[in-house]
């Protein structure tokens, strides 16, 4: 194989596929990147057997077609190489990465040992606006369970219906739901539980110029194609929690406030919470919210901001939340004004963080 390619484009390709390469594996070949040069194109691929990714470079000068499987460290050398153009030259199991004056030699693995990466199936693929799909992914994936062994809750529920696409994630203490309308969805709703790391890989692979992503779901995997990248993710098994039952319906108390201001005030007060008890108390009055926190042996903090508060049957109300959960939700929102609805200090709070974006957080009850 012999290829001349832009160093920046090759660096970008390694950056995308390199996120899939496991740091440790019982199969050493998985710690490699497969590079195939064919008909003026170079395709890089990597897999950890749960998430696989292909990335295509269209603008390359292929003088000799071929396949090499290189250690992922090749990407580090290309990143730090100072030249604009890189030459990839393979001879047997050796591959040379050459700039104008600098080069390295790497020993490649047998391409036959590299796992087969699936092909994207056009049949039953659904087109979804890329920006909206990515926005839903960012607004929900952070709420998926991070502890291993939570099975379905370690992923994001994806529902694609005839007119609506919906994503939901929960770890049992909070739940994020985002949805968007679509024009040409499937006749029958498609449902899949996508591992959170698969969602994150999609976000890393998204071509900023892509207007649409193609999504294809089979019983065992989801494939997402966007611009130059294709991401394949093995679906999680199990039953996702019935999220509709978690969404609070009767919320007599409510408050609207500036997202940026509450974010700043909450971060300020959270500095005085304890490591063993991450809790900030929200006190609602007629036209303001007071945030307060304390930690034994450290002190206490208070902050106040204006808000449009509506309380039913009471001059004031209180509820406590883990500030980290609230800040993560606020960070995922781009709305100027957000709203919190709740019933009492023992019931979950429902944050409305934008159009068709709901974030439910369980309160912290302190005696």
Whether residue 233 lies inside any domain: the answer is yes
Question: Residues 236, 278: one domain?
Answer: no
CATH code of residue 77: 3.10.150.10
Question: Residues 275, 329: one domain?
Answer: yes
Q: Name every residue whose Cβ is closer than 8 Å to that of residue 48 and which is 6 or more positions away in sequence.
A: 20, 21, 22, 25, 30
Residue 366's pLDDT is what? 66
Whether residue 203 lies inside any domain: the answer is yes
Question: Residues 68, 28: one domain?
Answer: yes
Instruction: Looking at 153-211, list the stretches that DSSP marks H as alpha helix, in order from N- to C-terminal side.
Output: 196-205
Residue 184's pLDDT is what? 85
Whether residue 288 lies inside any domain: the answer is yes
Question: Residues 308, 348: one domain?
Answer: yes
Question: Residues 137, 239: one domain?
Answer: yes
* Pairwise CA distance, residues 304 & 291, whole Å: 6
Residue 367's pLDDT is what? 55
Total structural domains in the chain?
Answer: 3
Question: Residues 88, 180: one domain?
Answer: no
Calculate the alpha carbon distances from 366 to 144, 222, 248, 277, 332 in Å: 25, 43, 21, 10, 28
Whether residue 118 lies inside any domain: the answer is no
Question: Residues 174, 226: one domain?
Answer: yes
Question: Residues 80, 139: one domain?
Answer: no
Whether residue 120 lies inside any domain: the answer is no
Residue 232's pLDDT is what? 97
Whether residue 366 lies inside any domain: the answer is no
The stretches in the chain having pLDDT less than 50 are none
**115-133 pLDDT tens trace:** 999 989 888 899 999 999 9
Last residue of a domain, one of 60, 89, 113: 113
From the list 253, 255, 265, the residue with the least C-alpha distance to 291 is 265
Whether residue 251 lies inside any domain: the answer is yes
Q: Structural domain of residue 166, as residue ranges? A: 126-243
* Pairwise CA distance, residues 91 & 21, whole Å: 24
* Pairwise CA distance, residues 280 & 299, whole Å: 13
**339 pairs with which residues across the strands?**
256, 352
Reported as type and span, the H/E element at residue 266 is helix 259-270
* Pairwise CA distance, residues 275 & 364, whole Å: 14
* Pairwise CA distance, residues 247 & 251, whole Å: 10
Question: Residues 84, 63: one domain?
Answer: yes
**169-210 pLDDT tens trace:** 999 999 999 999 998 888 889 999 999 999 999 999 988 888
Global confidence as pTM:
0.91
Whether residue 338 lies inside any domain: the answer is yes
Residue 59's pLDDT is what? 86
Question: Residues 146, 199: one domain?
Answer: yes
Last residue of a domain, one of 113, 145, 160: 113
Last residue of a domain, one of 92, 113, 134: 113
């Amino acid at each position: 194989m012999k290829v001349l390619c832009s160093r920046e484009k090759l660096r970008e390709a390694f950056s995308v596929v390199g996120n899939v390469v496991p740091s440790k594996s019982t199969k050493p070949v998985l710690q490699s990147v497969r590079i195939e040069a064919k008909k003026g194109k170079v395709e890089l691929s990597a897999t950890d057997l749960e998430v696989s990714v292909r990335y295509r470079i269209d603008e390359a000068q292929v003088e000799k077609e071929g396949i090499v499987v290189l250690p992922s460290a090749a990407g580090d050398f290309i990143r730090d190489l100072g030249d604009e153009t890189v030459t990839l030259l393979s001879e047997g199991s050796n591959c040379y990465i050459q700039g104008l004056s600098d080069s390295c030699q790497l020993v490649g693995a047998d391409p036959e040992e590299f796992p087969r990466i699936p092909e994207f199936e056009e049949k039953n693929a659904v087109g979804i606006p890329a920006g909206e799909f990515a926005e839903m992914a960012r607004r929900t994936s952070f709420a998926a369970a991070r502890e291993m062994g939570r099975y379905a809750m370690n992923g994001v529920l994806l529902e694609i219906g005839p007119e609506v696409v919906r994503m939901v994630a929960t770890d049992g203490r909070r739940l994020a739901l985002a949805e968007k309308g679509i024009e040409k969805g499937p006749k029958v709703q498609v449902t899949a539980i996508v591992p959170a790391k698969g969602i994150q890989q999609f976000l890393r692979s998204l071509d900023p110029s892509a207007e649409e992503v193609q999504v294809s779901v089979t019983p065992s995997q989801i494939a997402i194609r966007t611009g130059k990248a294709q991401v394949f993710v093995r679906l999680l098994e199990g039953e996702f929690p019935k999220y509709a039952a978690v969404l609070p319906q009767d919320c007599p108390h409510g408050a609207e406030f500036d997202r940026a201001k509450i974010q700043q005030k909450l971060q300020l007060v959270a500095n005085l919470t304890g490591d063993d008890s991450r809790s900030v108390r929200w006190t609602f009055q007629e036209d303001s919210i007071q945030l307060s926190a304390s930690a034994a042996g450290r002190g206490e903090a208070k902050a106040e901001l204006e808000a449009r508060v509506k309380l039913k049957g009471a001059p004031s109300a209180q509820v406590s939340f883990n500030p980290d959960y609230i800040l993560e939700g606020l960070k995922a929102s781009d709305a100027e004004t957000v709203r919190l609805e709740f019933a009492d200090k023992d019931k979950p709070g429902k944050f409305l963080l934008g159009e068709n974006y709901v974030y439910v957080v369980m309160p912290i009850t302190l005696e």
